[in-house]
Structure 1
């Protein structure tokens, strides 16, 4: 059996199991929000097939192909996603007062973390004989899937909310996708994408329901585990923003797998950060009664009012001994500027949200000054330049006269003459 390392798909609610070789999204016995499926593996088979040369050399996420739920005979559709750097951040560390590292997934081929999932989605869709692939997105998944669909020779049809950032929609259009702007929220665009999937049989990449998308995302956990092993230190905290919840769930699953297989000696605690205007997972984790399913935040990539992977996200937080917290939009903008001005890493608002969360966690005593923290930047800043303008203000405008430069920077005349 070519995919014998995948044993079953298990419902996270009722525990029913399903054949992993079929195209199935959620448990038919549960509703579409709750019946999320979990991919289960035979780790003895994975260990036997994995070349555990963990020297920190990671050309792409497909170094971990033995872990990924794809058939051995499938043609992998890849743009060399993954293998992103884990940067030391000395300037940021000094600013925060804790040792901080930055995992920069904005360096993926289409500029976002979601490429890890899109590569798996298009690979599986193509191997299953599907010609059309779809998803709902606020922008990043749309761009990511469109690029990989073009690479794999599939037609791509994307549903986005009407207020999605224009900069993010340029990418899927360049990649040749049909971009359908739904006059409504992300959740309404999502519901429509599921409806057309059921009606027309298009392959659905939505990480919210497609169980294999979390599996692609979990390669970031494998990479962090390997990179931490090479550094000789497991971080105390790994921090992600949360929208639907599948990213932090996947990252924890990947890191925990390496621990369970004795590739690393410890695991970090996971800190999940949400915007105050889109707090459903945080509210569920902390047992809040009043949960608002309306998302209102400038961090569009995590503006999810009805997250489908709440169970997996909360399980990652609980199993790791971690927690979640909320930050305001202004804190996100401040963090975006802080990351750029201290370390030269340009991130979009959702990618800055973890850093905003670290600052809040330090203030609240969740993170101690002697601990090590990994901040995960999940998207490149050019995807949302309007938010960057809000974070920084406009450029300085001057006349073409050196006297204006001298006056602005209070340069002594003698120094100007010497130069």
Structure 2
């Protein structure tokens, strides 16, 4: 892995060997010492020979940028390469030139597959037989699917109130799913304890430094797919902060290396009931309340990647907004009704965030905006039913249809 130079603590700058299995900087209590991966870009560019022509079959087009050994057996389900959809009807509703990158198209239905492919590849290369993580559902499904693909055992910790639909996936993939009688944060802490106790490979994106690296391929793709017509804004929902941090790293890399000409501003969106990164970015008091939102994928009280997320927003010239759960659900229905795209609540939060940013004057009239859907709506189809029409019950008779719609 000679293209990876070192791991560096974002707080104290201590450096570590990237070949070892290490999660956080031991100079700091708990998991505050998040590590960042640093590269020798001369080596990366020497290996990267793919044409930036907008055709992306999977994220492994960017393998030269990923922190895996050349002799590693890549565990992949062809994640990445998701489409950017022009969405003019949605744009007219929001008063912007709009497009949507739908990462719900990934193999297990979520952007996290990008990170999981890297995690399971590294776990297998390191000789680990068991992978683990804490999750509200999506990371659990993703890790279980890739563990099955890679022939590894998978043991997952979830809060017991995680959506049933999300827990069906990892069970189908053969994982041990352990429902913790507590919050996501308690499940998270337990996953760290078992990692120390049993030596299982931990995929938790907030602490495993290589997970953000997998997620940054969404930034590489956006840079390539919009080259020559870069949007003014790229919008992500934020939970632990890993996705927005990774995306920015990918976008910035391609610009710094001269592969594209410029970078967009980032808009980070959080639920008002889980707003810790937003609050930190705007200098508000540290919130201690337990997170509560219908968008379970971003229901995080103590985000572990706040530093990286805030740095990404600041460096891009962007900002963060919050939206209500009602606004998130209405955005989910709006996206489906206008463009035929189905997002889970967290995946629809960017649409709600753009509406808020427009109202606050952050995004101007006619600016171009790319919103990233991070998860498929089939992950949690029940939540949105509160803002959709009910099924209309009729008899199996033509007359009932005529009564409703008139004569043909």
TM-score (norm 1): 0.96
| Residue of structure 2 aligned with 1:203, choices 201, 206, 224 | 201
Aligned residues: 408
> Which residue is equivalent to 1:117?
115
For 2:399 and 2:92, the matched residues in 1 are separated by: 36
> Which residue is equivalent to 2:358?
362
> Which residue is equivalent to 1:279?
275
8 Å Cα contact 2:4-2:18 kept in structure 1? yes
CA apart distance, 1:94: 1.6
> Which residue is equivalent to 1:93?
91
Alignment of 1:9-408 (within 5 A): 9-229=7-227, 232-408=228-404
- Structure 1 gaps, min length 5: none
Q: Deviations over 1:302-351 (max 9, x none)?
A: 00000000000000000000000000000000000000011100110000
For 2:402 and 2:358, the matched residues in 1 are separated by: 40
TM-score (norm 2): 0.99
CA apart distance, 1:52: 4.2
For 2:197 and 2:187, the matched residues in 1 are separated by: 15
CA apart distance, 1:290: 4.5
- Structure 2 gaps, min length 5: none
CA apart distance, 1:293: 4.1
8 Å Cα contact 1:82-1:116 kept in structure 2? yes
CA apart distance, 1:370: 2.2
CA apart distance, 1:102: 0.3
For 2:10 and 2:29, the matched residues in 1 are separated by: 12
For 1:385 and 1:12, the matched residues in 2 are separated by: 38
- Over the aligned positions, Cα root-mean-square deviation in angstroms equals 0.9
8 Å Cα contact 1:293-1:306 kept in structure 2? no
For 2:286 and 2:196, the matched residues in 1 are separated by: 32
Q: Deviations over 1:159-178 (max 9, x none)?
A: 00010000000000000000
8 Å Cα contact 2:185-2:300 kept in structure 1? yes
For 1:87 and 1:375, the matched residues in 2 are separated by: 10
Q: Which moved more, 1:396-405 or 1:180-189?
A: 396-405
Q: Deviations over 1:221-254 (max 9, x none)?
A: 000000011xx21110000000000000000000
Moved over 3 A (4+): none
